[in-house]
Structure 1
Amino acid sequence: MTKSLRELHDVELAVQAAAGGRREYGELVRRHGSAVRGLLRRMGAAPSLADDVAQDAFLQGFQRCAEFRGQGTFAGWIKKIAARLYLKRAAHEARYVAESEVDEAATPVDHAGALDLDEAMKALNETERVCVSLCHGAGMSHPEIAAAMNLPLGTVKSHVKRGLDKLRARLQPATDAGGRSSHVG
């Protein structure tokens, strides 16, 4: 008796997809597509951009499926591909922003005065941004991120901690409405 596609584990599907199994890879896309798009949205991508980058990530994943060894989760592996593609695209598009339009000294706020997490995320280096996004945006554990990014667990933990520390420092208001320090001691 053969298993249906829905009954197969991600690793089994990936092995069959690496051998050219389009239906099997389609099942992986069905299982993980919304999670990949969700991660990209949490990283700051507009819905249409998240769809485009997710599609590119799954196409690249299909081409590189033989590289997936099953040591981590398939979801973590494909999310890593998507996160890297998004960061590359964002860096490429940033090159076209005129220097005069960028005020890096400004506090990251949107037009309503609320703190802007997307702008604060730009203060992180690429690895910190990916680790923080995968951990807190995609809900992946540190070991899953370590496996997906092929990094030591301690390195992932350091990147997440440093990234969160930078975000807290960047997003924490310096004073309250009365001009006093907002730090409670």
Structure 2
Amino acid sequence: MKQPLRNLHDNELAAQAAAGGRREFGELVRRHGSAVRGLLRRMGAEASLADDIAQDAFLQAFQRCGEFRAEGPFVGWIKRIAARLYLKRRAHEARYVAEVETEDAAPTFDTAGLMDLDEALKTLSETERLCVSLCHGAGLSHLEIASAMNLPLGTVKSHVKRGLDKLRARLDPRTDALGRSAHVG
């Protein structure tokens, strides 16, 4: 008797999907679809675009499931595919549309006065947000990000560090909305 899909490990599901198992791959999509869409949203994609790219990423993963070597978690593999698709789409759009960065968006706060991570990410420059999301959300190395974004390695490292420093300052309860130390006394 077959084991229910929910009891199988991702690696087992991926191996069966590589052999043509559509139900098994459907279980992987069910398990990891929201994580992939969440990463894409953190990278800056609107909800509908995140859904489209996530769907494309899972289609590509299904076609290439035989390439998954289980050297890391399946979710990391699919997130890398999605992140690369998003970057490719952005690069394509950048050829036709001039990018304008805006840093005047006012952050929103929850009732306790603490900023949500997604809102904090929106306060970073677009390049910082992408570098931080690719590094800590998709698990790409600095070298992989540099290659994907066509940036020097040192520049990527700087964007990741600067972005993380800004996020820490924004999310630290001991700082105000602008990341300044809020002294009580």
TM-score, normalized by length of structure 1? 0.67
Q: Is the 8 A contact 1:131 1:160 kept in 2?
A: no
Query: Which amino acid counterpart does residue 81 of structure 2 have in structure 1?
Result: I
Letter in 1 for 2:136: V
CA-CA distance at 1:25 after TM superposition: 0.5
**Do residues 131 (structure 1) and 135 (structure 2) align?**
yes
Change (3 A) 1:127 1:41: closer
In the aligned structure 1, how far is the partner of 2:83 from the partner of 2:47? 15
Q: Give yes or no for the alignment of 1:35 onto 2:35.
A: yes
CA contact (8 A) 1:120 1:167 kept: no
Q: CA deviation at 1:69?
A: 0.8
Task: Tell whether 2:20 aligns with 1:20.
Answer: yes
SS state of the match for residue 2, structure 1? coil
Q: Partner amino acid for 2:51?
A: D
- Whether the 8 Å contact between 1:53 and 1:85 is mirrored in structure 2 is yes
- The residue number in structure 1 matching 2:48 is 48
Corresponding residue number in structure 2 for 1:139: none
1:163 aligns with 2:160: yes
Q: Does 1:109 align with 2:109?
A: no
Q: How many pairs align?
A: 154
Render the CA deviation track for 1:8-49: whole Å, top value 9, x for unaligned. 111011001111111111111011111111111111111100
1:66–1:169 Cα change, 3 Å: same
1:88 deviates by: 1.2
Q: Displacement, 1:131?
A: 0.5
Offset, 1:166: 4.3
Secondary structure of 1:24's counterpart equals helix
User: Structure 2-normalised TM-score?
Assistant: 0.67
CA RMSD of aligned residues (A): 3.6
Distance in 1, Cα, partners of 2:31 & 2:38: 13
Distance between the aligned counterparts of 1:119 and 1:88, measured in 2? Answer: 23
1:77–1:95 CA distance, 2 compared to 1 (3 A): same
Structure 1 alignment gaps of length 5 or more: 135-144, 153-157, 177-181
Report if aligned partners of 1:10, 1:28 keep a CA contact under 8 Å in 2. yes
Does the C-alpha gap of structure 1 residues 172 and 91 become closer, same or farther in structure 2, counting only changes over 3 Å?
farther
Q: Alpha-carbon deviation of 1:133?
A: 3.4
**AA matched with 1:132:** H
